[in-house]
Amino acid sequence: MHTDKTLGVLGGMGPAATADFLRVLAEITPAETDQEHPRMIVYSHTVTPDRTTFILGKGPDPTEYIKDGLKTLIGWGADLLCVTCNTAHYFIDQFRSEISKPTVHIIDETIGEAASRSPQGAWLTATLGTMRTGLYQRHAQNSGYAFRIPSEPMQVDIHDVTDMVKAGKHKEAGEKFKKIVEQLWEIERLPIVGACTEIPIAYANTGLEPKMGISCLEALAKGCVRELYYK
């Protein structure tokens, strides 16, 4: 297959998650040759202030950085956009109408994947920023899907896992996240939605069943493939 569209990827939030997204996208793209893979422009906009820190009232506003990143990708020739950060979509939702090119929305894609694989519900694991905004809960409610929410202390531990991945401590992150997941499964054995782009990396290092993890990165990649090749 072939696509004439150019995908613009706004990343760097964080870098490891961006790299993992590109790997997943390459693996699931319906291509048999280099030439059948999509053209991509990747903007690793690492200077973007931390999204959760701002939401918690402790840091600068990243809105203009995210908006500028998307508009820069459009200026460079992107026909389709995606952002490899869940919490960034809290800000994107506020200025989405200002962006002239379509954006594959990681929240909607992940909820769709969760609903398809586990209609009865799933555990939501994300950064404190994403959890505090109610971003996933709000979008899920609009589509009639129900998430199970970890306790507040567990949410803090999950956020620590994402920081460990950002620091390159993938093995340690996997060990800590495994303990968290096992505690959740003692309550109810439902799939774990990795609603932060670092969490799929942590889950991959837990040694737990791959089929019980739902990756926002994989969901985003599937959405990009759909828009690039089938629309």
Active site residues: 85, 196
- Contact predicate 220/110, CB 8 Å: yes
DSSP of 68-79 = HHHHHHHHTT-S
Token representation of residue 98: 């200002």
Is the distance from CB of 224 to CB of 25 less than 8 angstroms?
A: yes
Please, which contacts does 101-104 make with residues 24 or more away whose CB atoms are closer than 8 Å?
101/8, 101/74, 102/227, 103/70, 104/80, 104/220, 104/223, 104/224, 104/227
| DSSP assignment letter at 58 | S
Question: Hey, which residues does 123 pair with through a beta bridge?
Answer: 148, 192
Of the candidates 168, 171, 159, 160, which has an alpha carbon nearest to the alpha carbon of residue 17? 168
Enter the tokens of residue 150.
């970890």
Bridge partner residues of 214 (DSSP): 193
